């Protein structure tokens, strides 16, 4: 005997959480044009710089709740920036997974320049493909018509 015909009780919180997850998922399926993308990236950069400035100057000796709030704001800004990059890839007719092909080399470059400051040109050469992809995000026009990533 199966219980597939018996509905599972769902709390209002679970319904809200499901709606939120669906809303987030649909945000990743949208497209964004070049100018809007550049504007969003400029705003994200300003937010990142402001948070890092506040952490360095004002929160140097602060207690953990303030650091937690600033960390959550930083995480929200990072999520928002990732969302815009994925949307831009979708506008170019590419998969949003290319975000990792761009971000991981840049992260490695940032870490390796700290370890080997005099060898920075080698790491920039190794990041030639991610640099080219990043330039395409800002300069290449999007595809015409419906994207295969839109519902």
Q: CA distances (Å), 74 to each of 45, 86, 148, in order?
A: 11, 18, 31
Please enumerate, as own/partner, the contacts of 125-134 that have beta carbons within 8 Å and a separation of 24 or more.
129/101, 129/105, 130/101, 130/102, 130/105, 130/106, 133/98, 133/101, 133/102, 134/102
pLDDT at 42: 93
Instruction: Write out the chain's pLDDT in tens, 151 residues.
Output: 566 677 778 888 888 888 887 887 777 667 888 898 999 899 999 998 998 888 888 777 777 777 788 889 889 888 888 888 988 888 888 888 888 888 888 888 777 777 777 776 777 777 788 889 989 999 998 888 776 766 5
């Amino acid at each position: 005997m199966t219980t597939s015909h018996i509905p599972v009780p769902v709390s209002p919180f679970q319904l809200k959480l499901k709606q939120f997850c669906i809303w987030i998922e649909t945000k990743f399926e949208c497209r964004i044009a070049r100018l809007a993308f550049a504007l969003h990236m400029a705003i994200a950069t300003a937010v990142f710089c402001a948070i890092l400035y506040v952490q360095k100057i004002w929160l140097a000796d602060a207690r953990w709740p303030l650091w937690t709030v600033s960390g959550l704001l930083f995480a929200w800004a990072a999520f928002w920036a990732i969302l815009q990059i994925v949307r831009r890839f979708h506008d170019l007719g590419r998969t949003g997974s290319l975000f990792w092909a761009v971000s991981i080399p840049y992260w490695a470059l940032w870490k390796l320049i700290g370890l080997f400051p005099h060898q920075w040109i080698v790491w920039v050469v190794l990041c030639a493909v991610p640099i080219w992809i990043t330039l395409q995000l800002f300069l290449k026009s999007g595809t015409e018509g419906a994207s295969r990533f839109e519902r």
